[in-house]
Amino acid sequence: MAETTVNKPAAKPPSPTIENLKTIFKKLRKNKAAMVGGYLIIFFVIVAIFGPLFTTGSPSAIDPTNRMAPPSADNWFGTDHQGRDIFTRIIHGMSITLYIGFSSVLIGAIVGVFIGLVSGYYGKKVDAILMRCMDVLLAFPGILLALAIVSVLGGSLQNVIIAVGIFSVPMFARIVRGSVLAVRKLEYVDAVRALGASDTRIIFRHVLPNIMSPIIVQATLRMATAILTASGLSFLGLGAQPPTPEWGAMLSAGRNYMWDSPHIALFPGLAIVIVVLAFNIFGDGLRDALDPKTK
Amino acid sequence: MLVYIIRRLLQTIPVLLGVTILVFSMMHLIPGDPAQIIAGESASETQVEQMRERLGLNEPLVVQYGKFLGGVIQGDLGNSIRSGNPVSAEIGARIMVTIELAVYSTILSIFLGLIAGIVSATKRYTFWDTSIMIVALFGLSMPNFWLGLMLIQYFALPPLQWFPVSGWGTPGHIVLPVITLGTAGAAIIARMTRSSMLEVINQDYIRTARAKGVKEKYVIYKHALRNALIPVVTVVGLQFGVLLGGTVLTETVFAINGMGRLVIDAINARDFPIVQGSVLVIALLFVLVNLIVDLSYRFLNKRIELD
């Protein structure tokens, strides 16, 4: 080992973040369930981007002569109460669902990771105050926090994203804080500090890259929760508004007709289940691959 | 132990205060003029002014919060804008339904979750384990409102018609909503129990017990389960809170007149005092339940340490 180092004195060590991602990927490939979840997610992204090109007709094209038609060769998932093709609407809804999930988790992750880093790194009073604030947010259980936020901001797709994003902040903050506490005491952090690195540099260059695993796992699992919560808000009429082909809103519009046409409520729900399932499987797999305890 | 209880109680106070501040701010975070929005777009200027007066929005913020907090402590949450009745009365009329729903669902999820988790852990990597874990994953990934709709579709509508479609009151009314609400919790508890059991089963003292020749059943139920249950207790507490929140959707699906419906109707009617009151009550309830769970967790832990 010493020899190779001597032979290549000029080689720049790879950046810690890239190195981390490489090891993560290597471990992940050994986990079958995670790979299945991952491929499913890639498939959904492809459907979201290119799917609408292959569906005939618009998702909001009304056909009064063909209302509530059961699934057939023409309408794979049947039509809804306005004669709109449910399959087309579900394909168009894919991008909305992924967009809501991704942007709300991104908001939650950025804010939550920042709070967790500051809290864990500085400790003491800063930590106490920030964590009490997170406790306050966590006191509103389940969908209630998102519901309260949407009730204030008003129901719309954008506000649902903000609400679900805020709803995710305390989870990220807590996990990151815990990880920072574990890393902060390690020798290498002391060493970097002794070399005169600033707090900001230590936090972002040396602490953050080493706690990426729990953040990535949390973000993946959070996607599942975010999609479920957002679709719930839309189902309550507080999210995406009709005629947007959002799946929760479709379920809400279709439920009055399900007595006669079960397929109206069946397919949008199945779509939510499958996407959420993919993120849960992928997140579980990631956690198993990245958590040394389960090995 | 006593010191811990007192410290834990003191820790709860800032959280409770924070909760009241947040709920109080809801009215002030409404984009635009809350009085105008609550009074409605067509309201005249005098009507808006009256609304502002009624909501006390003319006073300084600190005074407003002081009055709000004072009211909360005395159980006075203001009056509903729509009906004029005290918010506490409106909540009082509905809260038992929601608590009943949440308690039954918690019981169901503990029962199903524990059995499934224990079977899964003791029969690791068998057909049973795999099946249970797949079902649990589905349970976790299902929107509960959709599960509710499907249950109605197949068990409440013709041809089966085993249960009523909506409402609350008779034992028949309870079945479908409780399954709807309890499924996700059962899935989470099953997964938690499994991993917790597996962790415990690999411990030295379990090996020692087996080596001593203790019967397998006894090892599982007396030695492993008791210790494995500790982390599960925390999850149950959190789950109860999630279920309290989740009742909003379940009550909407089954047209049950509980707190959840109250909140949703109030949001749609812009009846803010009701929204604030309900959100506050559910949050306080959740904090209380978590406090109890925390203390019992501590108690369980202590006993085991003493053993």
At residue A175's C-alpha, the angle toward residues A171 and A181, to 5°, is: 145
**Yes or no, beta carbons of A140 and B242 under 8 Å apart:** no
A-B contacts at Cβ under 8 angstroms? 131
The reply to whether A64 touches chain B by the CB within 8 Å rule is no
- Within 8 A by CB and 6+ apart from B206, the residues are B200, B219, B223, B224
Residue A63's CB is within 10 A of a number of other CB atoms, namely 14
Q: Which CATH class is domain A40-51+99-290?
A: mainly alpha
Q: What is the pLDDT of residues A96-133, one digit of tens each?
A: 999 999 999 999 999 999 999 999 988 889 998 999 89
Q: What is the pLDDT of residues B149-208, one digit of tens each?
A: 999 888 887 777 788 877 787 888 888 999 999 998 899 999 989 988 888 888 888 888
Residue B298's CB is within 10 A of a number of other CB atoms, namely 14
Backbone angles phi, psi at B26, to 5 degrees: -50, -45
**Long-range pairs for A42-46: beta carbons < 8 A, 24 or more residues apart:** A44/A94, A44/A98, A44/A275, A44/A278, A45/A98
What is the distance between the alpha carbons of residues B223 and B110, in angstroms, rounded to a whole number?
Answer: 20
pLDDT of residue A115: 95
Longest dimension (CA), chain B: 84
Average pLDDT over chain B reads 85
Q: Which ipTM score applies to this complex?
A: 0.87
Q: How confident is the model at residue A293 (pLDDT cuts 50, 70, 90)?
A: low
What's the helix, strand, coil split of chain A in %, to 5?
75, 0, 25
Domain residue limits, chain A: 40-51+99-290
pLDDT of residue B110: 92
What average pLDDT does the segment A138-156 reach? 87
Nearest in space to B264 (alpha carbons), one of B251, B283, B254: B251
Q: Which of A148, A269, A272 sits opposite B279 (nearest CB)?
A: A148
Nearest in space to B282 (alpha carbons), one of B294, B264, B307, B255: B264
What is the distance between the alpha carbons of residues B248 and B252, in angstroms, rounded to a whole number?
Answer: 6
**Yes or no, beta carbons of A236 and B246 under 8 Å apart:** no
Cross-strand bridge partners of residue A79: A85
What average pLDDT does the segment B130-148 reach? 91
The reply to whether B245 touches chain A by the CB within 8 Å rule is yes
C-alpha to C-alpha distances, B154 to A259, B90, B185, nearest whole angstrom: 10, 34, 22
**Yes or no, beta carbons of A235 and B137 under 8 Å apart:** no
What is the value of pTM for the model shown? 0.88
Q: Is the pLDDT of residue A65 over 90?
A: no
**Yes or no, beta carbons of B249 and A259 under 8 Å apart:** no
Q: Is the pLDDT of residue A285 over 90?
A: no
Tell me the CB-side half-sphere exposure of residue A128, using CA atoms within 13 A: 4
Q: Is the peptide bond before A243 cis (omega within 30 degrees of 0)?
A: yes
What average pLDDT does the segment B43-55 reach? 82
Residue A192, token pair as written in the block: 């970097």
Q: What is the pLDDT of residues B221-263, one digit of tens each?
A: 777 787 788 878 878 888 888 888 888 899 999 989 889 889 9
The full set of domains in chain B, from first to last, is 15-76 (no CATH), 94-300 (1.10.3720.10)
What is the distance between the alpha carbons of residues B133 and B224, in angstroms, rounded to a whole number?
Answer: 20
